[in-house]
Amino acid sequence: MQAGERRDTDVRHEDQRPPAAALFDALGADYEKAFAHAPAHLAALEWLIERLPPAARVLDVGSGTGRPTAAALVEAGHSVLGVDVSAVMVELAARQVPGAEFRCTDIRELPLETAAFDGVCVFFSLLQMARAEQSALLRRLALALRPGGHLVLATVPADVEDLEVVFMGRPVRATSFAEDGVVVLAEDAGLTVLSRQGTLFTPDHPGAGPEPHLFLYCRRDGGGG
C-alpha cells in the first residue's frame, strides 16, 4: 500500500458522528436565525415557565445554540442543563448563555436520575431517531421528571419512517408519527397530555416553505397542576 492511500477502514473522525451531529455542526447559528423566533415555540416556553417552581431545574434536550430555550429559562431564574450531540451547537450555547450548563453528548446515552428535573424541553430533537428510540427516550425523560413536573414536546407530525427530506438545503433522514401517534407516544411514556397545538411555521431561510409543527403540553402522571 502506498503512503497516502486510504484504506476502507480509515474512516475520518467526523464521518463517525451521528447524522444529527453532522447536520447541526454544519448549520450552526443559521438554525437559530431560522427558528428562534417561532411564536409557538416562545408560547410553549412561556407556558412551561409559568408552571415551574422558583429556581427550578430544567433539562433541555437538543439545546442547540441555547436560544431561545435555555436563555429564557435562565432569565426566569432557573437552572438549565442543555444536552446536544453537536459540538458546534454546544460551543455556541455556552458562549451565548453562560448561566446554563451544556454537555455535548447523545441524550440516548446520558444517565438520567429519577425525579431529577422540574421541567423538560424536547423541541424538535426526536426527528432523527428511530421510532423505538423515540419511545424509549420519552419514557426515560418522563421518569426524570418529578411528580407534577411538566414537559413540552415539539415535533413535525407526519407518518414517516426513515424518509429522506431536504432540511435547510441539506438532505436528512427523518422519522416521526402522525399527530395522534405523537400523543400516544407521550401517554405511553407516562405523561398526561394537557393540551396540544398544531401550527404552520415558515423558517427564516432561503427557499423555506411552511412546516407543520405540533406542540404537546404534558405533565408527569401522579402530580397536580
Domain ranges of the chain: 20-220
Residue 126 is predicted with a pLDDT of: 97
What pLDDT is recorded for position 20? 85
- The architecture CATH gives domain 20-220: 3-Layer(aba) Sandwich (3.40)
Q: Which helix (H) or strand (E) holds 137?
A: helix 131-144
Q: What is the pTM of this model?
A: 0.89
What is residue 113's predicted lDDT score, i.e. its pLDDT?
97
Residue 73 contacts residue 97 (beta carbons within 8 Å): no
Each residue's pLDDT tens digit in the chain (225 positions)?
Answer: 444 444 444 334 445 678 888 988 888 888 889 898 999 999 999 999 999 999 999 999 999 999 999 999 999 999 999 999 999 999 999 999 999 999 999 999 999 999 999 999 999 999 999 999 999 999 999 999 999 999 999 999 999 999 999 888 889 999 999 999 999 999 999 999 999 999 999 999 888 889 999 999 999 987 444
- C-alpha–C-alpha distance, residues 219 and 129, integer Å: 23
The pLDDT of residue 15: 54
Query: If you write DSSP's letter for every residue of 57-126 in order, what string do you get?
Result: EEEEET-TTSTTHHHHHHHTT-EEEEEES-HHHHHHHHHH-TTSEEEES-GGGS---TT-EEEEEEES-S
Fill in the amino acid letter for 83. Answer: V
Nearest to 217 by CA among 121, 141, 139, 76: 121
pLDDT given at position 3 = 41
What pLDDT, on a 0 to 100 scale, did the predictor assign at position 147? 97
Which element (helix H / strand E) includes 145?
strand 145-155
